[in-house]
């Protein structure tokens, strides 16, 4: 049991003193409590170990009360369990008080197993297990759990009432598309958060595959490939802490967060959806692997796969809406506006579809590196050629080629402002008129690692600062950051309503408009 990453830091603390074999199997039980409107009110995380004598609970972490550690682990489920049998588990306990302070004491748990009174539970060979627990001088209200073979816990009766498992379909509320208001960019104020820094106590270790997303409550959603778990990070503390974790299975191949719903495509050819609390919503099969982020088109998510398919799924339910197949695999990131999505395949076919999946046009664009939709009175599509020194613009309405621009050096990325394409090189940005291909201005910069923008503003990230420019390339403001040491890693920028995130290998900066 070498992992300590998937869960609250209490788990690794308990593992350090429990003397558990490294080949033991650990299980995390994560419970989210919501009110009738769906707002999260409390959370609970329990860490259990499967051993030769049964299932032991090592840690209980609850947001509303004390955290408890049990040594060597409270034996909640015995391998000798049967109707009419009882057993006792006792040992040392460590209590971390919710209001501060701690207590080292003992615990004693008395268990009894009985046959369920319901016919359904009897057919499933379920047992009712009642626990009477004392920790120090505190005697808990007895808890009865219904355990069923192959199903686990299907019912709980405790001080809060009776809780029943259900197979009812989960419903999700898809948040409206609210982007960052770039007219407020000058009001951004940044707070730092440590990650991957062993010199900072409790700094989370995490490695992302793409730009993390920011939810409405400030939670940062980081999808990982190395550790395979995806994490919701609370930015209310320094360092950040994990609010929730999910593990979709297989290897993550692509991901994106749309309308508060996180979509993860994996190597098992599945698309899996989670809500803002990490709750599983739905999953759908994919025709092939997806290696580019899904995009939102209305209330649908459009997913591209290596067989050349574009597939649209209802964001709330996962119901397939439409699909279309291009002539070759899709490895270039998609781009979407309010009612159009564009994609280019490996043979250079550039195609545009509306929200109903009806193809609007298709043209030959050649070998491509990236593409963006450029908003404005006459929206266009800018396609950066694979060589990186030229991009071509096409009309979003009918696909007609409009202009092209060639740069002396390699273009790292394109940024779409209102009626303007900004071409970012390592040491300069160039503002280009998409209707003529003319360079309107050039701004020399220090080495830039990333750029992002919209409306009439863009932000560039250098090794030690963020630079805000207007649509004429004029600098408006700078924010000094701790020097970013990237090595062979990437720096990511992402936005949501009122927020901008800078994700570097060892430091995260969250900007909020004030």
Query: If you average pLDDT over every residue of the chain, what do you get?
Result: 91
Higher pLDDT, 6 or 159: 159
pLDDT tens profile 9-26: 788 788 777 777 766 788
Residue 97 included in any domain: yes
Cβ within 8 Å of residue 120, ≥6 positions away? none
Residue 425 included in any domain: no
Q: Are the beta carbons of 229 and 278 closer than 8 angstroms? A: no
Residue 222 included in any domain: no
Q: Are the beta carbons of 55 and 72 closer than 8 angstroms? A: no
Please give the C-alpha separations between residue 377 and each of 83, 130, 380, in angstroms, as whole numbers. Answer: 73, 68, 9
Q: For the whole prediction, is pTM greater than 0.85?
A: no
Domain boundary pick from 141, 172, 194? 141
If one counts every other C-beta atom within 10 angstroms of the C-beta of residue 65, the result is: 14
Report pLDDT for 5: 46
Residue 154 included in any domain: no
- Is 80 exceeded by the pLDDT of residue 488? no
pLDDT tens profile 191-248: 999 988 888 888 888 888 789 999 988 899 999 877 778 999 999 888 888 888 888 8
Comparing 48-57, 86-95, 129-138, the range with the smallest average pLDDT is 48-57
If pLDDT is split at 50, 70 and 90, which confidence band does 305 have? very high
Report pLDDT for 1: 40
Q: What is the DSSP track for 268-334?
A: TSEEEEE-TTS-EEEEEE-SS---S--EEETTEEEEE-TTSEEEEEETTT--EEEEEE-SS---SPP
Q: Residues 475-501, buried b or exposed e (16+ Cβ, 10 A)?
A: eeeebebeebeeeeeebbbbbbebbbb
Instruction: Specify whether 136 is located in the same domain as 16.
Output: yes
Q: Give the separation between CA 500 and CA 513, rounded to whole angstroms.
A: 9
Quote the domain boundaries for residue 80: 9-141
Instruction: Specify whether 136 is located in the same domain as 256.
Output: no
Domain boundary pick from 334, 366, 398? 366
The residue count for the chain? 514
Using DSSP, state whether 123 is helix, strand or coil: helix
Q: What is the end-to-end Cα distance of the chain in Å, rounded?
A: 45
Residue 13, exposed/middle/buried by CB under 10 A (0-12, 13-18, 19+)? middle
If pLDDT is split at 50, 70 and 90, which confidence band does 416 have? very high
Residue 387 included in any domain: no
Domain boundary pick from 141, 160, 179? 141
Residue 116 included in any domain: yes
Q: Residues 239-269, buried b or exposed e (16+ Cβ, 10 A)?
A: bbbbbbbbebeeebbbbbbbbbbbbbbbeeb
- Look at the chain and report how many structural domains it folds into: 2
If pLDDT is split at 50, 70 and 90, which confidence band does 2 have? very low
Token pair for residue 411? 């273009």
Mean of pLDDT values over 58-66: 90
Q: What CATH number is given to the structural domain containing 332?
A: 2.40.128.630
If pLDDT is split at 50, 70 and 90, which confidence band does 177 have? confident
Residue 37 included in any domain: yes
If pLDDT is split at 50, 70 and 90, which confidence band does 170 have? low
Residue 505 included in any domain: no
Mean of pLDDT values over 368-387: 96
């Amino acid at each position: 049991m070498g992992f300590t990453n998937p869960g609250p830091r209490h788990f690794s603390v308990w593992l350090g003193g429990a003397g558990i074999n490294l080949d033991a199997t650990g299980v995390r039980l994560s419970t989210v409590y919501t009110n009738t409107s769906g707002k999260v009110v409390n959370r609970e995380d329990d860490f259990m170990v499967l051993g030769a004598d049964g299932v032991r609970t090592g840690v209980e972490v609850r947001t509303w009360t004390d955290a408890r550690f049990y040594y060597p682990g409270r034996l909640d489920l015995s391998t000798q369990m049967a109707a009419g049998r009882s057993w006792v588990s006792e040992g040392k306990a460590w209590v971390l008080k919710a209001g501060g302070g701690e207590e080292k004491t003992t615990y004693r748990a008395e268990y009894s197993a009985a046959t369920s009174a319901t016919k359904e539970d009897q057919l499933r060979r379920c047992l009712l297990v009642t626990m009477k627990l004392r920790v120090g001088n505190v005697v808990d209200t007895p808890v009865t759990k219904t355990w069923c073979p192959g199903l686990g816990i299907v019912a709980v009766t405790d001080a809060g009432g009776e809780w029943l498992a259900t197979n009812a379909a989960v419903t999700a509320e898809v948040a409206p598309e609210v982007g960052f208001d770039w007219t407020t960019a000058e009001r951004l104020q940044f707070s730092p958060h440590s990650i991957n820094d062993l010199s900072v106590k409790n700094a989370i270790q995490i490695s992302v595959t793409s730009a993390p997303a920011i939810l409405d409550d400030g939670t940062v959603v980081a999808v990982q490939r190395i550790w395979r778990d995806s994490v919701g990070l609370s930015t209310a503390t320094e360092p950040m802490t994990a609010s929730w974790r999910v593990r979709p299975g297989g290897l993550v191949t692509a991901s994106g967060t749309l309308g508060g719903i996180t979509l993860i495509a994996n190597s098992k050819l599945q698309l899996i959806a989670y809500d803002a609390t990490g709750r599983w919503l739905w999953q759908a099969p994919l025709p092939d692997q997806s290696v580019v982020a899904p995009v939102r088109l209305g209330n649908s998510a459009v997913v591209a796969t290596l067989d050349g398919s574009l597939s649209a799924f209802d964001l709330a339910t996962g119901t397939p809406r439409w699909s279309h197949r291009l002539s070759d695999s899709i490895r270039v990131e998609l781009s979407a506006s309010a009612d159009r999505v564009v994609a280019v395949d490996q043979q250079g076919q550039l195609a545009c579809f509306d929200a109903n999946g009806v193809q609007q046009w298709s043209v030959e664009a050649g070998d491509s590196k990236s593409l963006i939709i450029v908003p404005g009175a006459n929206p266009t599509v800018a396609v950066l050629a694979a060589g990186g020194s030229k991009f071509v613009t096409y009309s979003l309405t009918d696909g007609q080629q409009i202009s092209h621009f060639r740069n002396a050096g390699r273009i790292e990325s394109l940024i779409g402002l209102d009626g303007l394409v900004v071409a970012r090189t390592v040491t300069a940005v160039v503002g280009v008129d998409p209707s003529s291909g003319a360079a309107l201005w050039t701004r020399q910069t220090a080495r830039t690692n990333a750029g992002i923008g919209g409306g009439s503003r863009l932000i560039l990230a250098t090794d030690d600062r963020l630079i805000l420019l207007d649509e004429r390339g004029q600098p408006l403001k700078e924010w000094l950051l701790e020097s970013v040491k990237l090595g062979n890693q990437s720096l990511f920028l992402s936005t949501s309503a009122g927020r901008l995130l800078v994700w570097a290998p060892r430091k995260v900066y969250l900007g909020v408009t004030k």
